[in-house]
Amino acid sequence: MKFQRPRGTRDFYPEAMATRNWIVDQWRRVSLRNGFEEYDGPIFELLDLYRDKSGDEIVSELFHFTSRGGDAFAIRPEMTPTLARMVAAQAQGLPKPVKWFSIPRLCRAERPQRGRLREFFQWNIDILGEDGVLADAECILVAADFFRQVGLSDQQFVIKVNSRALLAAILEKADVRPDRFHAVYAVLDKRDKLDAGAFEKMVEELKLPGEQRDLLISLGEAKGSSGLEDLRGAVEGHAGAEERYEEIRRLFELLETMGASACCRFDMGVVRGLAYYTGVVFEAFGTGGLQRAICGGGRYGQLLKKVGGPPMSGTGFATSDVVIEDVLRELDMIPVYVSAIDIFVIDASPEVFDDVIRLTTQLRAKDHAATFSYKRQGVGKQLKQASAKHARRVVIVDEKMRTERVVSLKDMASGVQTEVSIDSLLADPFQSAAP
């Protein structure tokens, strides 16, 4: 019987594994240099942890099971509930702000499509215990830092930023009923995917009074620095709206100070679908053909309280290796995979092969990637193997290793070959080879 991998998953052959490791390495490098600490948790959690966060409807999107003891578990589909549970358990003893990152393997029972698979790796950046917009700005900076780290210019991506708190305050000032907020959010969140006519049609379907309808249409057009400036009139005279407006204005001042403003843009059409976002929200988009957010997040206010912790605010974002790889492949920015080793050790005759094994072991003990041929064949064929493995150096062992403790060392880039002592080789196998 021939078996196939499960739909929506990937096999990581060496080349694919190298790409995955490269992306993960960039995530970790950017996280650490921005002052974040790494954490992790179990690959499955109690099902109720996700129910409490997202409601019963989330169950259909999870891979879940019941243990022999009758407990309902789910394989983790995201990391935020685990983060909230862990921080809540030690909230009083953790120094604030909590700046953590994680790179977990996640699973979601959804229909596979471009940029979305059932199994993937996700980069999570979170700051908890800091209510000011400085934390939001730093999270946005980290996202920009990563995109720049992997080679994208500020013209190849954009981070769109909004504030749900500001939007709610503007709607409140305009006397939009709170029970209509969710419907308004849903329409605004589709603005960038629609032309002006289709957007206005969706607004009309909300059946809002004339002034509220006109306000919503104008909010859909509020983009960039001019769009933010145009909102001044919509917030004047309402203390809450004015305060939220000053927060988002200050956020962009901080992004300017951090050197990230060139790739960031205010956009009232960014609302984010998850209900737990309460303040600043943002999404990053590539400027190529992948028409979806490649990174997204924002501020959440009550998540820790839902899992038994204190009412601690947090902010953060996430992105997956699937969508990042799609974007980078589209731009031809994935590094070329080369299976390279440091040193290939060759035997000039089968009689010295045990010496080859012994020397290779000694080189490996010095933390060099060293290998040899499994087949006993001529030096020429072994040199071809070394070249195929992109070896930096070749060591040729013959009887002189036993009688004089010397070997031949070849620099594969220059072709220069010279005799060196065993002690000299082990001290520095990459020494300049004298002709």
Q: Give the Å distances, CA to CA, from 369 to 131, 149, 268, 344.
A: 48, 27, 53, 9
Task: Find the helix or strand (DSSP H, E) in which 303 lies.
Answer: helix 303-306
CA 149 to chain centre: 12
- The mean predicted confidence, pLDDT, of the chain is 92
pLDDT band, very low/low/confident/very high, at 433 (cuts 50, 70, 90):
low
Looking at residue 352, which CATH number applies to its domain? 3.40.50.800
* pLDDT exceeds cutoff 60 at 390: yes
* pLDDT exceeds cutoff 80 at 53: no
Question: Does the residue 397 lie in any domain?
Answer: yes
- Residue-level pLDDT at 302: 77
Give how many domains the chain has, as a whole number: 1
What is the rounded average pLDDT of the residues 242-270? Answer: 95
What is the rounded average pLDDT of the residues 227-254? Answer: 93
Helices (H), 109-266: 133-149, 164-173, 181-189, 196-205, 210-220, 224-230, 232-235, 239-257
- Is residue 317 within 8 Å of residue 27, measured between CB atoms? no
CA dihedral 141, 146, 152, 156 (to 10 degrees): -50
Q: How far apart are CA 304 and CA 53, in angstroms?
A: 10
- Residue-level pLDDT at 150: 96
* pLDDT exceeds cutoff 70 at 274: no
Q: Quick one: tokens of 293?
A: 């957010």
Helix (H, G, I), strand (E, B) or coil at 158: strand
Positive/negative CA dihedral, 376, 378, 384, 390: positive
Question: Does the residue 402 lie in any domain?
Answer: yes
Question: Does the residue 306 lie in any domain?
Answer: no
Q: Quick one: tokens of 96?
A: 């604030």
Question: What 8-state DSSP symbol labels residue 231?
Answer: T
* pLDDT exceeds cutoff 70 at 256: yes
Q: How far apart are CA 270 and CA 188, in angstroms?
A: 7
- Residue-level pLDDT at 291: 63
Task: Find the helix or strand (DSSP H, E) in which 48 lies.
Answer: helix 47-54
CA 135 to chain centre: 18
pLDDT band, very low/low/confident/very high, at 99 (cuts 50, 70, 90):
very high
Q: How far apart are CA 413 and CA 166, in angstroms?
A: 60
> pLDDT digits over 182-213, tens only?
888 888 888 877 888 888 888 888 888 888 88
Question: Does the residue 219 lie in any domain?
Answer: no
- pTM of the model as a whole: 0.91
pLDDT band, very low/low/confident/very high, at 373 (cuts 50, 70, 90):
very high
Q: How far apart are CA 66 and CA 59, in angstroms?
A: 13
According to DSSP, the β-strands at 343-347 and 393-397 are parallel
φ and ψ at residue 207, rounded to 5 degrees: 55, 45
What is the rounded average pLDDT of the residues 302-306? Answer: 77
Q: Greater confidence, 432 or 136?
A: 136
Q: How far apart are CA 404 and CA 225, in angstroms?
A: 76
* pLDDT exceeds cutoff 90 at 260: yes
pLDDT band, very low/low/confident/very high, at 59 (cuts 50, 70, 90):
confident
Domain extent, residue 380, equals: 343-427
- Residue-level pLDDT at 287: 83
* pLDDT exceeds cutoff 60 at 35: yes
- Residue-level pLDDT at 117: 94
* pLDDT exceeds cutoff 60 at 434: no
> pLDDT digits over 130-187, tens only?
999 999 999 999 999 999 999 999 999 999 999 999 999 999 999 989 889 888 888 8
Helices (H), 150-209: 164-173, 181-189, 196-205
Question: Does the residue 407 lie in any domain?
Answer: yes
Q: How far apart are CA 242 and CA 249, in angstroms?
A: 10
- Residue-level pLDDT at 435: 54
Helix (H, G, I), strand (E, B) or coil at 406: strand
What is the rounded average pLDDT of the residues 223-248? Answer: 91
Q: Which of 384, 385, 390, 382 is nearest to 338 (CA)?
A: 390
